Structure 1
Amino acid sequence: MAVYFEHSHKVKDLQARLKLFMEEYIYPNEEIYAEQINSHDRFSEIPPIMEELKQKAKEKGLWNLFLPEREFGLGLSNLEYAPLCEIIGRSHIAPEVFNCNAPDTGNMEVLLNYGSTQQQNEWLIPLLNGDIRSCFSMTEPDVASSDAVNISASIVRDGDEYVINGTKWWSTGALDPRCKIAIVMGVSDPAAPRHKQQSMVLVPIDTPGVEVKRSLNVFGYDHAPNGHAEIEFRDVRVPAGNILLGEGRGFEIAQGRLGPGRIHHCMRSIGAAERALELMMTRVRDREAFGGRLIDQGIVQQWIADSRMEIEQARLLTLKAAYMMDTVGNKKAKAEISMIKVIAPKMALNVVDRAIQAFGGAGVSDDFILAASWANLRTIRILDGPDEVHRRTVAREEIKKYK
């Protein structure tokens, strides 16, 4: 039978291998991971099961799947990675197991595309190997960070060094004991044109003057051991060689970094929605109320139908955006990237919300993954550009057609 779209044999093989790995190793160990996290200071130690699973993923050849460069990964395109990232997104612990977790993926791409040979040897290789973690420090508490040119942290050249001052927050991963490097964005030339004022610099976390002040929770979840940190940089000095690409290139790097990151979030959101729908189906099939099974109720069937239709729509737009990124580049695909960045998390939130409703009180408890999944997905409507910014991008691209 003819189909509209079909993945290659290579991708189908990887899908099968990933699904098997998830069934054998990921789902059975989600509770063990949680138990190990809760058995000690949540930010001091890494659950042993995580390192065991990472080693198994390496042995199975399921490592660094996100990287298109064959030297470091499997050489997958965005279109090829999309269905794999979707599978990975079904579990909150899976991205790290396959070394496909934010913010490390974006930071690895930055180092690969914009870093010097020395910077790559020092930081990229350990990240690719999963030996260390990293964080990305752009967002600030005192400015509207949805517009990156608003940032106020300073990066000032002083002889053979740069001096960094400022406060950053929502630096995901900074609390992890394995986090060794931060990519920090700040203003290096306030007199330059608006999009040339910013630079990015590599700052080792143990540099004097770097203070991780506190952990920021997401709807009460601390996301240990990685967490989200507020960091203060006070007269932090790093070698001039730690600048990425050159002074005034920070906004350019940020735009290059955020494109793949945005669509990765969308791919994972689809996986989270699929799992929520599966959980809902099991729940309503097995539960009875008012003299009949929930699955036979008209409103529940509407939830099921709407969820399936919304997932399929979002998946197709994700694949289209990924295809365009591969064929015409991220810049020409920016409207499609912005469209799916709005649609995918909103879709996933709808599906998870319906599943929570079907579960009743159990849905908002920690006994199931739905509450945590909802909290994670809600952040995606803000991070890497809020919905309103992406809608503006889509509108502007549409308006151009009529000029």
Structure 2
Amino acid sequence: MFTTTEHGQTMHTKVKEFIETQIEPMEAQFWQDCHELNPDGNWENWRWPEAYEALRQQARKAGLWNLFLSDETLGAGLSVTDYAPIAELTGRSILAPHIFNCNAPDSGNMELLWRYGSEEQQDQWLTPLLAGKTRSVFCMTEPDVASSDATNMQATAVVEGDEIVINGSKWWSSGLGDPAVDLLIVMAYTPDESKDRHQQHSMVLVPVKTAGVKIERMLKVFGDYDAPHGHGEVSFDNVRVPADSFIGGPGMGFEIAQGRLGPGRIHHCMRCIGAAEKSLELAVHRGMKRTAFGKPLLQLGGNLERIAEARIKIDQVRLLTLYAAQKMDSQGTKAALTEISAIKVVAPTVLQEVVDMAIQIHGGMGVCQDTMLPAFYAQARALRLADGPDEVHKTMIAKLELKRHGFRRKSQSSKS
């Protein structure tokens, strides 16, 4: 049912071999080097280990570059269904998405510029991003409002003459610490009384070195700065950019966001599946090699059942995610809204459950830096909030289900 093309299968084989031979053997040392090079939150001094750029060049030379982009000239020419199993492979590694120039938020930002950017915007920003010469950040979440409702947004992007003036604060802006970052894509409120509440927000291209842009700090995720990628808080104080810095035009922010987040959620979820597979693999090997009370750990305390449950859950979420990918390819993002929200709820939750099981099997080793399990757990727990918390996606699924059966939720302002 979910057969990939010959091209997709060939790329899958190449990516698998590259990860197994070039990335996995050195990944543990790579992240240790990152921690030693970037010991604190002083992001201005953050940098990648030397192996980072060498691996990226090697991947690009092998044609394993911009795999997420379906454009045959700019990307790998893969459909969403073709790319999904490849994204799963990259999810087995924290490093792999960066090496193939397929990491968030850059992949989503590149797809956004490819779909909605003007020719000038593409020349200035998309081309160097595709070449891996720069990095970008997506600024949406705010510290002072409940960002689960994006219409709460307080940061503003107001047109004054031939300029856009931006004021406000954003945080959890992923990738803000990367030394190569040059571009911020800022979603902000553009007041217009003539439009409804979902047509009063805009996306604006802001060079990071524009006057009034200030990186306030980097935020720790479970005590880790995630350097040199990082997740930061940034403020905008009367930041002025040319009026042609709107992507698509004023008021198009929500429309563009849906186009950006749809494919991105497929990518996130397939990477979750890859991480869950890796976690299950680690649990099995650890549980069969360690003994207690005269038996392998997996033969104690119901652990065999936990392994079985993990296998069932992983395969279920993979099938659901592939179904969403196929529906996006055949019918478009809008037709797959239920499936996209469903996988966004299920995939990080399954990853969190499988990693938790694997940590328990590992004992003390499971919570230290000797395995990737702590990083996978942080990834899973953060993704249950990123791109919309579980509760928002469940509400969306329920609304679409009611609509499918002929019911529409009454407006809050309507009288009973």
* TM class, shorter-length: over 0.9
Q: After TM superposition, give the deviation of residue 174 of structure 1 in Å.
A: 1.2
Contact 1:310 / 1:347 at 8 angstroms: preserved in 2?
yes
The 1-side partners of 2:16 and 2:267 are apart by 18
| Structure 1 counterpart of 2:36, one-letter code | S
Structure 1 CA distance for aligned equivalents of residues 115 and 9 of structure 2: 29
Query: What are the residue-to-residue correspondences of 1:290-301 with 2, within 5 Å?
Result: 290-297=293-300, 299-301=302-304
Specify the SS of the correspondent of 2:37: coil
User: One-letter code of the match for 1:301?
Assistant: L
Q: 1:305 aligns with which of 304, 308, 316?
A: 308
Could you state the TM-score of these two structures normalised by the residue count of structure 1? Answer: 0.97
Name the residue aligned to 2:14. Answer: 17
Q: 1:159 — aligned with what?
A: 161
Q: Could you say which residue in structure 1 is the equivalent of 2:284?
A: 281
Instruction: Quickly say closer, same or farther: Cα 1:395–1:285, change in 2 above 3 A.
Output: same
Equivalents in 2 of 1:5, 1:187: separation in Å?
40
Q: Tell me if structure 2 keeps the 8 A contact 1:175–1:212.
A: no
Structure 1 residue identity aligned to 2:174: T
Letter in 2 for 1:326: D
Within the candidate set 136, 141, 146, 1:144 is matched to: 146
TM-score w.r.t. length of structure 2:
0.94
State percent identity of aligned pairs: 51
Letter of the 2:312 counterpart: M
Q: Deviations over 1:368-399 (max 9, x none)?
A: 11111101111111100110011111111211
Shift of 1:276: 0.3
**Kept after mapping to 1: 8 A contact 2:202/2:252:** yes
Aligned mates of 1:56, 1:95 — CA distance in 2 = 14
Q: Deviations over 1:134-177 (max 9, x none)?
A: 00011101111112111111111121111110000011111211
Q: Give the counterpart letter for 2:10 in structure 1.
A: D
In structure 2, give the amino acid aligned to 1:34. W
The separation in 2 between residues aligned to 1:217 and 1:39, in whole angstroms, is 16
Equivalent residue, structure 1, for 2:413:
none
Aligned AA for 2:82? E
Moved more, 26-35 or 270-279: 26-35
Are the aligned partners of 1:216 and 1:229 in contact in 2 as well (CA < 8 Å)? Answer: yes
8 Å contact kept, 1:317–1:340: yes
SS across alignment from 1:22: helix
Q: Distance in 2 between matches of 1:74 and 1:48?
A: 26
Match of 1:356 among 344, 354, 359: 359
Q: 1:49 aligned to 45, 48, 51, which one?
A: 51
1:341 & 1:151 partners in 2: Cα distance? 22
Q: How many angstroms does 1:298 deviate by?
A: 5.7
* Equivalent position of 1:203 in the other structure: 206
Aligned length: 400
Amino acid aligned to 1:17: K
Of 122-131 and 144-153, more deviation after overlay is shown by 144-153
Q: Secondary structure at the match of 1:222?
A: coil
Superposed CA offset, 1:23-49 (max 9, x none):
111111212322331333454222111
Q: Distance in 2 between matches of 1:398 and 1:162?
A: 40
CA distance, structure 2, for counterparts of residue 15 and residue 385 of structure 1: 30
- Tell me what 1:251 maps to: 254
Structure 2 stretches lacking a partner, 5+ long: 407-416
Cα distance in 1 for residues equivalent to 2:260 and 2:349: 23
2:232 alignment partner, one of 229, 233, 239: 229
Question: Aligned letter for 2:396?
Answer: T
For 1:72, the equivalent position in structure 2 comes to 74
Q: Deviations over 1:118-137 (max 9, x none)?
A: 11000000100111000001
**Match of residue 119 from structure 1:** 121
Amino acid at match of 1:107: N
Q: Could you tell me whether the CA contact under 8 Å between 1:32 and 1:49 is conserved in 2?
A: no
Question: Retained in 1: the 8 A contact 2:37–2:49?
Answer: no
Residue 330 of structure 1: aligned partner: 333
Q: Distance in 2 between matches of 1:28 and 1:99?
A: 20
Aligned to 1:7: 4
Equivalent-residue separation in structure 1 for 2:302 and 2:3 (angstroms): 33
Which secondary structure does the structure 2 equivalent of 1:91 belong to?
coil
Q: 2:218 aligns with which of 215, 218, 233?
A: 215
Q: Which amino acid aligns with 2:150?
A: A
Residues 109 and 91 of structure 1: is their aligned pair in 2 closer, same or farther, counting only changes over 3 Å? same
Aligned pairs for 1:165-176 (under 5 A) are 165-176=167-178
State how far apart, in whole Å, the 2-side matches of 1:295 and 1:45 are.
Answer: 41
CA distance in 2, matches of 1:309, 1:17: 28
Q: Alignment RMSD, CA only?
A: 1.2
**Alpha-carbon spacing, 1:146–1:295, altered in 2? closer, same or farther (3 Å):** same
Alignment counterpart, residue 105 of structure 1, candidates 99, 104, 107:
107
Aligned-pair CA distance for 1:5: 4.7
CA distance in 2, matches of 1:258, 1:20: 29
Which residue matches 2:27? 30
Aligned to 1:392: 395
Q: 1:342 is matched with which residue? A: 345
Q: Is the 8 A contact 2:38 2:227 kept in 1?
A: no
Answer with 282-291 or 15-24: which moved more: 15-24
Per-residue CA deviation, residues 209-255 of structure 1 (Å, 9 max, x unaligned), is: 00000001111121111100100000111111111111111111111
Q: Distance in 1 between matches of 2:355 and 2:337?
A: 27
Letter in 2 for 1:84: I
- Per the alignment, in what secondary structure is the counterpart of residue 61 of structure 1? coil
- Offset at residue 63 of structure 1 (A): 0.5
Change (3 A) 1:258 1:5: closer
Contact 2:139 2:185 in 1 (8 A): yes
Counterpart in 2 of 1:315? 318
| Higher alpha-carbon deviation: 40-49 or 387-396 | 40-49
Runs of 4 or more consecutive aligned structure 1 residues displaced over 4 Å after TM superposition: none
